[in-house]
Chain A
Amino acid sequence: MDYILKGFIEALKLLVTLDKEVYKIIFLSLFISSISTIIASLISIPLGVFLGIKEFKYKSIFSRVLFTLMSTPSVIVGLVIAILLSRRGPFGFLQLLYTPTAMIIAQTLLVFPLCMGLTYNLSKNRGKKIDNVGLTLGANLFERIFLIIRELKLDLIINIVTTFSRAISEVGAVMIVGGNIKNHTRVITTSIAMFNSMGDYKKAIALGLVLLLISFTVNSVVYSYNQED
Protein backbone atom coordinates (compact mmCIF):
# COMPACT_ATOMS: atom_id res chain seq x y z
CA MET A 1 0.00 0.00 0.00
CA ASP A 2 2.89 2.27 0.80
CA TYR A 3 4.14 2.43 -2.77
CA ILE A 4 0.70 3.43 -3.99
CA LEU A 5 0.55 6.32 -1.52
CA LYS A 6 4.10 7.33 -2.44
CA GLY A 7 3.10 7.14 -6.06
CA PHE A 8 0.25 9.57 -5.47
CA ILE A 9 2.47 12.06 -3.62
CA GLU A 10 5.15 11.89 -6.32
CA ALA A 11 2.49 12.23 -9.00
CA LEU A 12 1.15 15.40 -7.41
CA LYS A 13 4.70 16.73 -7.17
CA LEU A 14 5.23 16.14 -10.89
CA LEU A 15 2.05 18.01 -11.70
CA VAL A 16 2.66 20.91 -9.33
CA THR A 17 6.29 21.38 -10.41
CA LEU A 18 5.15 21.44 -14.06
CA ASP A 19 7.29 18.48 -15.09
CA LYS A 20 8.23 19.10 -18.73
CA GLU A 21 7.87 15.51 -19.94
CA VAL A 22 4.50 14.99 -18.26
CA TYR A 23 3.05 18.23 -19.60
CA LYS A 24 4.33 17.56 -23.11
CA ILE A 25 2.47 14.24 -23.03
CA ILE A 26 -0.69 15.90 -21.71
CA PHE A 27 -0.72 18.64 -24.35
CA LEU A 28 -0.07 16.22 -27.21
CA SER A 29 -2.92 14.02 -25.97
CA LEU A 30 -5.30 16.96 -25.77
CA PHE A 31 -4.20 18.22 -29.18
CA ILE A 32 -4.62 14.89 -31.00
CA SER A 33 -7.92 13.99 -29.34
CA SER A 34 -9.38 17.48 -29.83
CA ILE A 35 -8.47 17.62 -33.52
CA SER A 36 -9.83 14.10 -34.15
CA THR A 37 -13.05 14.93 -32.31
CA ILE A 38 -13.49 18.21 -34.22
CA ILE A 39 -12.91 16.57 -37.62
CA ALA A 40 -15.16 13.60 -36.81
CA SER A 41 -17.92 15.83 -35.41
CA LEU A 42 -17.88 18.30 -38.29
CA ILE A 43 -18.52 15.52 -40.78
CA SER A 44 -20.55 13.02 -38.80
CA ILE A 45 -23.06 15.37 -37.15
CA PRO A 46 -24.65 16.85 -40.32
CA LEU A 47 -24.41 13.44 -42.03
CA GLY A 48 -25.91 11.63 -39.04
CA VAL A 49 -28.76 14.14 -38.81
CA PHE A 50 -29.45 13.80 -42.54
CA LEU A 51 -29.47 10.00 -42.49
CA GLY A 52 -31.55 9.97 -39.32
CA ILE A 53 -34.41 11.95 -40.83
CA LYS A 54 -34.15 10.48 -44.32
CA GLU A 55 -36.23 7.45 -45.21
CA PHE A 56 -34.33 5.08 -47.45
CA LYS A 57 -34.27 1.43 -48.44
CA TYR A 58 -32.29 -0.85 -46.12
CA LYS A 59 -32.26 1.76 -43.34
CA SER A 60 -32.50 -0.95 -40.69
CA ILE A 61 -29.49 -2.79 -42.14
CA PHE A 62 -27.60 0.49 -42.28
CA SER A 63 -28.44 1.09 -38.59
CA ARG A 64 -27.09 -2.31 -37.62
CA VAL A 65 -23.84 -1.83 -39.55
CA LEU A 66 -23.36 1.62 -38.06
CA PHE A 67 -23.99 0.43 -34.51
CA THR A 68 -21.51 -2.40 -35.04
CA LEU A 69 -18.88 0.03 -36.27
CA MET A 70 -19.41 2.13 -33.14
CA SER A 71 -17.69 -0.54 -31.11
CA THR A 72 -14.83 -1.31 -33.50
CA PRO A 73 -11.77 -2.35 -31.45
CA SER A 74 -9.18 0.41 -31.55
CA VAL A 75 -6.34 -2.00 -32.33
CA ILE A 76 -8.13 -3.03 -35.54
CA VAL A 77 -8.38 0.60 -36.66
CA GLY A 78 -4.73 1.11 -35.69
CA LEU A 79 -3.67 -1.97 -37.61
CA VAL A 80 -5.56 -0.96 -40.78
CA ILE A 81 -4.15 2.58 -40.71
CA ALA A 82 -0.65 1.26 -39.99
CA ILE A 83 -0.85 -1.09 -43.00
CA LEU A 84 -2.12 1.70 -45.25
CA LEU A 85 0.57 4.13 -44.10
CA SER A 86 3.46 1.66 -43.87
CA ARG A 87 6.32 2.12 -46.30
CA ARG A 88 5.01 -0.66 -48.55
CA GLY A 89 1.39 0.39 -48.15
CA PRO A 90 -0.65 2.43 -50.67
CA PHE A 91 -0.10 5.66 -48.73
CA GLY A 92 3.47 4.93 -47.69
CA PHE A 93 4.82 7.73 -49.88
CA LEU A 94 3.20 10.25 -47.49
CA GLN A 95 5.61 9.09 -44.74
CA LEU A 96 3.01 9.63 -42.04
CA LEU A 97 3.50 6.51 -39.95
CA TYR A 98 4.73 7.26 -36.41
CA THR A 99 3.70 10.89 -36.63
CA PRO A 100 0.96 12.82 -34.76
CA THR A 101 -0.87 13.15 -38.12
CA ALA A 102 -1.18 9.35 -38.36
CA MET A 103 -2.51 9.33 -34.80
CA ILE A 104 -5.11 11.98 -35.71
CA ILE A 105 -6.18 9.94 -38.77
CA ALA A 106 -6.52 6.77 -36.70
CA GLN A 107 -8.43 8.44 -33.89
CA THR A 108 -10.72 10.28 -36.32
CA LEU A 109 -11.62 7.01 -38.05
CA LEU A 110 -12.09 5.33 -34.69
CA VAL A 111 -14.47 7.92 -33.25
CA PHE A 112 -16.29 8.83 -36.47
CA PRO A 113 -18.78 5.90 -36.33
CA LEU A 114 -19.41 6.57 -32.64
CA CYS A 115 -20.27 10.24 -33.17
CA MET A 116 -22.27 9.44 -36.28
CA GLY A 117 -24.14 6.57 -34.64
CA LEU A 118 -25.13 8.63 -31.62
CA THR A 119 -26.22 11.54 -33.82
CA TYR A 120 -28.07 9.25 -36.23
CA ASN A 121 -29.99 7.64 -33.39
CA LEU A 122 -30.84 10.99 -31.83
CA SER A 123 -31.99 12.41 -35.15
CA LYS A 124 -34.00 9.29 -35.97
CA ASN A 125 -35.88 9.52 -32.67
CA ARG A 126 -36.27 13.25 -32.20
CA GLY A 127 -35.25 14.96 -35.42
CA LYS A 128 -38.24 14.04 -37.55
CA LYS A 129 -40.68 16.31 -35.72
CA ILE A 130 -38.31 19.26 -35.98
CA ASP A 131 -37.74 18.43 -39.63
CA ASN A 132 -41.51 18.48 -40.25
CA VAL A 133 -41.87 21.88 -38.62
CA GLY A 134 -38.99 23.23 -40.70
CA LEU A 135 -40.52 21.75 -43.84
CA THR A 136 -43.93 23.34 -43.20
CA LEU A 137 -42.26 26.71 -42.65
CA GLY A 138 -40.46 26.51 -45.98
CA ALA A 139 -36.94 25.48 -44.98
CA ASN A 140 -34.80 23.60 -47.51
CA LEU A 141 -32.79 20.49 -46.62
CA PHE A 142 -29.66 22.37 -45.44
CA GLU A 143 -31.73 24.79 -43.39
CA ARG A 144 -33.59 21.89 -41.80
CA ILE A 145 -30.39 20.04 -40.92
CA PHE A 146 -29.05 23.24 -39.34
CA LEU A 147 -32.35 23.69 -37.49
CA ILE A 148 -32.20 20.16 -36.06
CA ILE A 149 -28.58 20.65 -35.00
CA ARG A 150 -29.54 23.87 -33.24
CA GLU A 151 -32.58 22.36 -31.55
CA LEU A 152 -30.70 19.26 -30.37
CA LYS A 153 -27.60 21.25 -29.47
CA LEU A 154 -27.31 19.99 -25.92
CA ASP A 155 -27.67 16.31 -26.83
CA LEU A 156 -25.15 16.78 -29.61
CA ILE A 157 -22.67 18.38 -27.21
CA ILE A 158 -23.03 15.31 -25.00
CA ASN A 159 -22.33 13.18 -28.10
CA ILE A 160 -19.22 15.22 -28.83
CA VAL A 161 -18.03 14.82 -25.24
CA THR A 162 -18.58 11.07 -25.46
CA THR A 163 -16.61 11.07 -28.71
CA PHE A 164 -13.79 13.06 -27.11
CA SER A 165 -13.75 10.72 -24.11
CA ARG A 166 -13.40 7.71 -26.42
CA ALA A 167 -10.61 9.46 -28.33
CA ILE A 168 -8.55 10.53 -25.33
CA SER A 169 -8.92 7.23 -23.50
CA GLU A 170 -8.07 4.85 -26.34
CA VAL A 171 -4.65 3.26 -26.41
CA GLY A 172 -4.53 0.62 -29.15
CA ALA A 173 -4.72 2.73 -32.31
CA VAL A 174 -2.37 5.51 -31.21
CA MET A 175 0.13 2.97 -29.91
CA ILE A 176 0.24 1.14 -33.26
CA VAL A 177 0.35 4.15 -35.60
CA GLY A 178 2.21 6.52 -33.26
CA GLY A 179 4.78 4.12 -31.86
CA ASN A 180 4.90 5.87 -28.45
CA ILE A 181 8.04 7.83 -29.39
CA LYS A 182 9.32 10.11 -26.61
CA ASN A 183 8.72 13.82 -27.23
CA HIS A 184 7.07 13.03 -30.54
CA THR A 185 4.08 10.66 -30.38
CA ARG A 186 3.82 9.78 -26.70
CA VAL A 187 0.35 10.45 -25.32
CA ILE A 188 -1.26 9.89 -21.90
CA THR A 189 -2.65 6.42 -22.50
CA THR A 190 0.44 4.98 -24.21
CA SER A 191 2.60 6.53 -21.47
CA ILE A 192 0.52 5.00 -18.67
CA ALA A 193 0.88 1.58 -20.29
CA MET A 194 4.63 2.08 -20.72
CA PHE A 195 5.35 3.58 -17.25
CA ASN A 196 3.32 0.80 -15.67
CA SER A 197 5.35 -1.89 -17.44
CA MET A 198 8.53 -0.08 -16.37
CA GLY A 199 7.36 0.07 -12.75
CA ASP A 200 7.41 3.91 -12.77
CA TYR A 201 4.12 4.21 -10.90
CA LYS A 202 4.44 7.87 -9.94
CA LYS A 203 4.37 8.99 -13.58
CA ALA A 204 1.67 6.45 -14.43
CA ILE A 205 -0.48 7.67 -11.53
CA ALA A 206 0.18 11.35 -12.39
CA LEU A 207 -1.01 10.81 -15.94
CA GLY A 208 -3.93 8.71 -14.72
CA LEU A 209 -4.98 11.57 -12.46
CA VAL A 210 -4.74 14.02 -15.35
CA LEU A 211 -6.90 11.76 -17.51
CA LEU A 212 -9.51 11.65 -14.77
CA LEU A 213 -9.26 15.41 -14.29
CA ILE A 214 -9.80 16.04 -18.02
CA SER A 215 -12.81 13.76 -17.99
CA PHE A 216 -14.20 15.45 -14.88
CA THR A 217 -13.68 18.97 -16.30
CA VAL A 218 -15.28 18.20 -19.65
CA ASN A 219 -18.27 16.49 -18.05
CA SER A 220 -18.68 19.30 -15.49
CA VAL A 221 -18.85 21.88 -18.28
CA VAL A 222 -21.54 19.84 -20.03
CA TYR A 223 -23.42 19.33 -16.77
CA SER A 224 -23.50 23.06 -15.93
CA TYR A 225 -24.54 23.85 -19.50
CA ASN A 226 -27.31 21.27 -19.17
CA GLN A 227 -28.51 22.91 -15.93
CA GLU A 228 -28.58 26.35 -17.60
CA ASP A 229 -30.55 25.02 -20.56
Chain B
Amino acid sequence: MDLCISKLRKYYHNKRILDVDYLNIKKEKITGIIGDNGVGKSTLLNIISGLDKKYQGVVSYDGKKLDREIYKNMTLVFQRPRLFKRSVYENIEYPLKLRKVNKIKRKKIIEKIIKRLKISDIKDNKGHLLSGGESQKVALARAIVFKPKLLLLDEPTSNIDDKSTKLIESEILRYKEKENATVIIITHNKKQAERICDEIITIDNGKVVL
Protein backbone atom coordinates (compact mmCIF):
# COMPACT_ATOMS: atom_id res chain seq x y z
CA MET B 1 0.00 0.00 0.00
CA ASP B 2 1.15 3.52 -0.75
CA LEU B 3 0.71 6.95 0.70
CA CYS B 4 -2.64 8.16 -0.64
CA ILE B 5 -3.97 11.67 -0.63
CA SER B 6 -7.50 12.35 -1.74
CA LYS B 7 -9.64 15.46 -1.94
CA LEU B 8 -7.10 17.45 -0.01
CA ARG B 9 -7.95 21.12 0.45
CA LYS B 10 -6.04 23.57 2.55
CA TYR B 11 -7.17 27.14 3.14
CA TYR B 12 -5.22 30.02 4.58
CA HIS B 13 -7.15 33.21 5.35
CA ASN B 14 -9.99 31.93 3.11
CA LYS B 15 -7.58 31.43 0.22
CA ARG B 16 -7.22 27.92 -1.16
CA ILE B 17 -3.50 27.17 -1.14
CA LEU B 18 -3.63 23.43 -1.75
CA ASP B 19 -6.11 21.55 -3.89
CA VAL B 20 -5.20 17.93 -4.56
CA ASP B 21 -7.94 15.62 -5.85
CA TYR B 22 -5.89 12.46 -5.80
CA LEU B 23 -2.23 11.68 -5.30
CA ASN B 24 -0.58 8.33 -4.87
CA ILE B 25 2.97 8.26 -3.57
CA LYS B 26 4.57 4.87 -4.09
CA LYS B 27 5.87 2.95 -1.14
CA GLU B 28 9.59 2.22 -0.90
CA LYS B 29 10.37 4.71 -3.65
CA ILE B 30 11.87 8.17 -3.69
CA THR B 31 9.32 10.73 -4.84
CA GLY B 32 10.44 14.23 -5.69
CA ILE B 33 8.11 17.19 -5.38
CA ILE B 34 9.13 20.14 -7.46
CA GLY B 35 7.59 23.52 -8.09
CA ASP B 36 8.14 27.24 -7.65
CA ASN B 37 8.27 29.03 -4.32
CA GLY B 38 4.96 29.34 -2.49
CA VAL B 39 3.01 26.80 -4.54
CA GLY B 40 2.24 24.60 -1.53
CA LYS B 41 5.06 22.03 -1.48
CA SER B 42 6.05 22.58 2.15
CA THR B 43 2.39 22.80 3.16
CA LEU B 44 1.84 19.36 1.65
CA LEU B 45 4.79 17.96 3.56
CA ASN B 46 3.58 19.57 6.79
CA ILE B 47 0.18 17.92 6.29
CA ILE B 48 1.70 14.49 5.62
CA SER B 49 4.01 14.80 8.64
CA GLY B 50 1.13 15.71 10.95
CA LEU B 51 2.42 19.19 11.78
CA ASP B 52 -0.54 20.76 10.04
CA LYS B 53 -3.86 19.18 10.90
CA LYS B 54 -6.15 21.96 9.72
CA TYR B 55 -7.10 20.64 6.31
CA GLN B 56 -9.94 18.92 4.48
CA GLY B 57 -9.54 15.53 2.83
CA VAL B 58 -7.91 12.22 3.60
CA VAL B 59 -4.27 11.26 3.89
CA SER B 60 -3.61 7.56 4.45
CA TYR B 61 -0.61 5.30 4.59
CA ASP B 62 -0.80 1.55 4.14
CA GLY B 63 -4.57 1.94 3.87
CA LYS B 64 -4.85 3.51 7.30
CA LYS B 65 -5.59 7.14 8.12
CA LEU B 66 -2.52 8.82 9.58
CA ASP B 67 -2.36 8.20 13.30
CA ARG B 68 0.14 8.35 16.15
CA GLU B 69 1.65 4.97 15.26
CA ILE B 70 2.34 6.08 11.68
CA TYR B 71 3.69 9.42 12.82
CA LYS B 72 6.12 7.61 15.12
CA ASN B 73 7.51 5.86 12.07
CA MET B 74 7.87 9.01 10.06
CA THR B 75 10.06 12.07 10.22
CA LEU B 76 10.56 15.39 8.49
CA VAL B 77 13.81 17.23 7.92
CA PHE B 78 13.16 20.95 7.64
CA GLN B 79 14.67 23.22 5.04
CA ARG B 80 16.41 25.12 7.82
CA PRO B 81 16.99 22.41 10.36
CA ARG B 82 16.80 23.38 13.99
CA LEU B 83 19.43 21.55 15.94
CA PHE B 84 19.28 21.43 19.71
CA LYS B 85 21.64 23.37 21.96
CA ARG B 86 23.65 20.28 22.72
CA SER B 87 26.45 18.36 21.02
CA VAL B 88 26.05 16.87 17.56
CA TYR B 89 26.29 13.41 19.15
CA GLU B 90 23.48 14.23 21.61
CA ASN B 91 21.36 15.68 18.80
CA ILE B 92 21.56 12.42 16.90
CA GLU B 93 21.04 10.46 20.11
CA TYR B 94 17.77 12.22 20.96
CA PRO B 95 15.30 10.10 18.89
CA LEU B 96 16.97 6.91 20.12
CA LYS B 97 16.63 8.04 23.72
CA LEU B 98 12.92 8.69 23.08
CA ARG B 99 12.65 5.10 21.88
CA LYS B 100 14.51 3.80 24.95
CA VAL B 101 17.36 2.23 22.97
CA ASN B 102 20.07 1.22 25.44
CA LYS B 103 23.28 3.24 25.71
CA ILE B 104 25.66 0.68 24.16
CA LYS B 105 23.40 0.11 21.19
CA ARG B 106 22.89 3.85 20.81
CA LYS B 107 26.62 4.44 20.67
CA LYS B 108 27.10 1.76 18.04
CA ILE B 109 24.34 3.11 15.79
CA ILE B 110 25.45 6.74 16.15
CA GLU B 111 29.14 6.03 15.51
CA LYS B 112 28.22 4.30 12.25
CA ILE B 113 26.02 7.09 10.98
CA ILE B 114 28.48 9.79 12.01
CA LYS B 115 31.22 8.03 10.08
CA ARG B 116 29.06 7.63 6.98
CA LEU B 117 28.06 11.29 6.90
CA LYS B 118 31.65 12.37 7.65
CA ILE B 119 30.79 14.40 10.72
CA SER B 120 33.07 12.61 13.22
CA ASP B 121 35.26 15.68 13.65
CA ILE B 122 32.33 17.85 14.74
CA LYS B 123 30.53 15.32 16.93
CA ASP B 124 31.33 17.26 20.11
CA ASN B 125 30.45 20.66 18.65
CA LYS B 126 27.25 22.39 19.70
CA GLY B 127 24.49 21.69 17.19
CA HIS B 128 23.06 25.20 17.05
CA LEU B 129 26.44 26.71 16.18
CA LEU B 130 27.09 24.66 13.03
CA SER B 131 27.22 25.96 9.47
CA GLY B 132 24.39 25.33 7.00
CA GLY B 133 25.93 22.27 5.35
CA GLU B 134 26.95 20.69 8.63
CA SER B 135 23.47 21.31 10.07
CA GLN B 136 21.86 19.58 7.07
CA LYS B 137 24.05 16.51 7.53
CA VAL B 138 23.40 16.34 11.27
CA ALA B 139 19.66 16.85 10.74
CA LEU B 140 19.63 14.00 8.22
CA ALA B 141 21.59 11.78 10.62
CA ARG B 142 19.15 12.62 13.43
CA ALA B 143 16.21 11.85 11.16
CA ILE B 144 17.34 8.45 9.88
CA VAL B 145 19.00 7.21 13.06
CA PHE B 146 15.75 5.63 14.29
CA LYS B 147 15.01 4.14 10.86
CA PRO B 148 11.64 5.70 10.01
CA LYS B 149 9.67 4.03 7.26
CA LEU B 150 8.60 7.36 5.83
CA LEU B 151 11.26 10.02 5.38
CA LEU B 152 10.19 13.52 4.39
CA LEU B 153 12.84 15.98 3.27
CA ASP B 154 12.19 19.66 2.66
CA GLU B 155 15.02 20.86 0.41
CA PRO B 156 17.74 18.95 2.24
CA THR B 157 20.55 20.32 0.09
CA SER B 158 19.58 23.96 -0.35
CA ASN B 159 22.46 26.39 0.07
CA ILE B 160 25.16 23.78 0.56
CA ASP B 161 28.25 22.91 -1.47
CA ASP B 162 28.42 20.21 -4.15
CA LYS B 163 30.49 17.83 -2.03
CA SER B 164 27.99 17.86 0.83
CA THR B 165 25.10 17.64 -1.64
CA LYS B 166 26.58 14.46 -3.17
CA LEU B 167 27.13 12.96 0.27
CA ILE B 168 23.55 13.68 1.34
CA GLU B 169 22.13 12.34 -1.92
CA SER B 170 24.09 9.10 -1.66
CA GLU B 171 22.97 8.69 1.97
CA ILE B 172 19.32 9.17 0.96
CA LEU B 173 19.70 6.52 -1.78
CA ARG B 174 21.52 4.14 0.58
CA TYR B 175 18.89 4.61 3.27
CA LYS B 176 15.99 3.93 0.91
CA GLU B 177 17.65 0.75 -0.41
CA LYS B 178 18.70 -0.61 2.97
CA GLU B 179 15.58 0.20 4.99
CA ASN B 180 13.01 -0.09 2.19
CA ALA B 181 11.82 3.34 3.19
CA THR B 182 9.45 5.66 1.39
CA VAL B 183 11.14 8.99 0.77
CA ILE B 184 9.48 12.22 -0.26
CA ILE B 185 11.82 15.01 -1.14
CA ILE B 186 11.05 18.63 -1.99
CA THR B 187 13.62 20.18 -4.22
CA HIS B 188 14.05 23.19 -6.45
CA ASN B 189 16.73 21.41 -8.36
CA LYS B 190 15.22 19.51 -11.28
CA LYS B 191 18.53 17.81 -12.02
CA GLN B 192 18.76 16.59 -8.47
CA ALA B 193 15.23 15.20 -8.70
CA GLU B 194 16.14 13.36 -11.88
CA ARG B 195 19.32 12.02 -10.27
CA ILE B 196 17.81 10.47 -7.16
CA CYS B 197 14.03 10.23 -7.52
CA ASP B 198 12.05 7.30 -8.87
CA GLU B 199 9.06 9.55 -9.48
CA ILE B 200 8.65 13.29 -9.84
CA ILE B 201 5.54 15.29 -9.01
CA THR B 202 5.16 18.91 -9.99
CA ILE B 203 2.99 21.23 -7.96
CA ASP B 204 1.75 24.45 -9.45
CA ASN B 205 -0.60 26.87 -7.78
CA GLY B 206 -1.53 24.30 -5.12
CA LYS B 207 -2.45 21.64 -7.70
CA VAL B 208 -0.60 18.53 -8.76
CA VAL B 209 0.60 18.67 -12.35
CA LEU B 210 1.78 15.20 -13.23
Contact = CB atoms under 8 A, between A and B. Distances in A.
Interface string A135-151: 11111000100010011
Nearest to A55: B54
Contacts of B76: 136
B51 A136 contact: yes
B10 to A, nearest CB: 16
B49 A138 contact: no
Interface string A195-212: 000000000000000000
Contact of A151 (B72, B78, B85): B85
A135 B95 contact: no
Contacts of A229: 85
A122 B144 CA distance: 30
B148 to A, nearest CB: 8
Interface residues of B, number: 19
Nearest to B94: A137
Interface string B39-51: 0000000000111
Given A138-B71, A151-B85, A133 B98 contact: no
B75 A137 contact: yes
28 contacts: A129-B82, A130-B82, A133-B78, A133-B82, A135-B51, A135-B71, A136-B49, A136-B74, A136-B75, A136-B76, A137-B75, A137-B94, A137-B95, A137-B142, A137-B143, A137-B146, A138-B71, A138-B72, A138-B95, A138-B146, A139-B98, A143-B98, A147-B84, A150-B85, A151-B84, A151-B85, A153-B85, A229-B85
Interface of B: 49-51, 71-72, 74-76, 78, 82, 84-85, 94-95, 98-99, 142-143, 146
Q: Which 4 A-B pairs have the closest CB atoms?
A: A136-B76, A137-B95, A138-B72, A136-B75
Given A133-B82, A137-B98, A138-B99, 8 more contacts: A133-B78, A136-B51, A136-B143, A137-B95, A138-B71, A138-B146, A139-B98, A147-B84
